Amino acid sequence: MKIDQATLHRVRLPLKHSFQTSSHRKAHLEHVLVRLVDADGVEGWGEIASGSDPYYAPDTTDTSWLIATRYLLPAVLGHEVDHPSEVAALHGKVRGHRFAAAGVDMAAWALWTRRRGEPLARALGGVRDTVVAGVSLGIEPTIDDLLAQVQRHVDAGYPRVKLKIAPGWDVEPVEQVRAAFPELDLHVDANGAYLDDPDHLAVLRALDRFGLTMIEQPFAPRALLPSAALQAAIDTPVCLDESVDTLDDLRTAIALGAGRVLNIKVSRMGGLTTAVAAHDLARDAGWPVWCGGMHEFGVGRIANVALSSLPGFTLPSDVSASDKYYERDVVVPPLTADRGVVTVPTAPGLGVEVDTDFVLAAGEQTFRTRAG
């Protein structure tokens, strides 16, 4: 395929329920949708799901927009490729900026599979018709508010709940949730908020008694040695997220024993191409994987569903229904879940259509370019 045209849409959607992590609270999401069109007029969509602020990763909406418009799109336009995995090499001189690269990579996969009349999941190596979804819940004003949120999603059928934690909001809320839901698949995510000091280590070790599925990213991204020491000291698996941006990061983490589970995020790893390779590497090492989310709109969320259909994704992934987050999504039909189970689309490409009228109405900025 030869990519002839590219369009970026900067779109802002309000969240139905504000979401707080250890670093910040957000009430809306502003992502960039990528539309690539080949010389035959076939289109594919991707999503740049970087945050508005550099709290999860260095990438932001502004930096991703700059990198995509100035470097990535000019590098890929007008070039002939036989497979979407070749697109990354076209802009390989650009270091970092994986969120922007992920949006372009995703759009290339969507375009290529649509051209071939093949579902994205099958092209990636998916083996399932459905995937199990979990939900991620932020830090709430009170424990009662948190318990109400957990109950709402358990009632909706979601079998796994992830709780955001931070110093001062950890053992007590987890203890209360576990007491109220003794059989629930429960795990916690610190987003790197804890330090390698005696007080914080005591808190993390205290969480070991609650039968958690995992403790996700307890320490800062590069703090693999403390993560390995914690994993050796507790029974609960440590899951790595921000620590693994590249395949080399994953190889290092495996060699150190810095965890036992991997959260694969398409955006963090630079696209579907690297995400599939990370799945293969983790599976060979005996690490189960699951697909984390960045509160993606429907484009990125559907791509996550397709990825989650691969055989190594044995844990519930953050692919909950669109209506958990948004009153209206950018794709038709929106993603739905039946008692926590999501059907993998079988139509060519992403398997859904982008609601372009709504995208234009919700858009705050548009950029168009073409080859030549």
Catalytic residues: 164, 265
Start-to-end CA distance of the chain, whole Å, equals 16
Q: What is the DSSP letter of 29?
A: E
Distance (Å, rounded) from C-alpha 215 to C-alpha 164? Answer: 10
Structure-token pair, residue 160 = 């796994």
**Cβ atoms within 10 Å, residue 149:** 18
Residues facing 290 on adjacent strands = 263
The sign one gets for the Cα dihedral 295, 296, 298, 301 is: negative
Q: Is 349 helix (H, G, I), strand (E, B) or coil?
A: strand
Structure-token pair, residue 83 = 């497979």
* Extended beta strands in 110-222, E state: 130-132, 135-137, 160-164, 185-189, 215-216
Structure-token pair, residue 158 = 């979601």
Q: Is 35 helix (H, G, I), strand (E, B) or coil?
A: strand
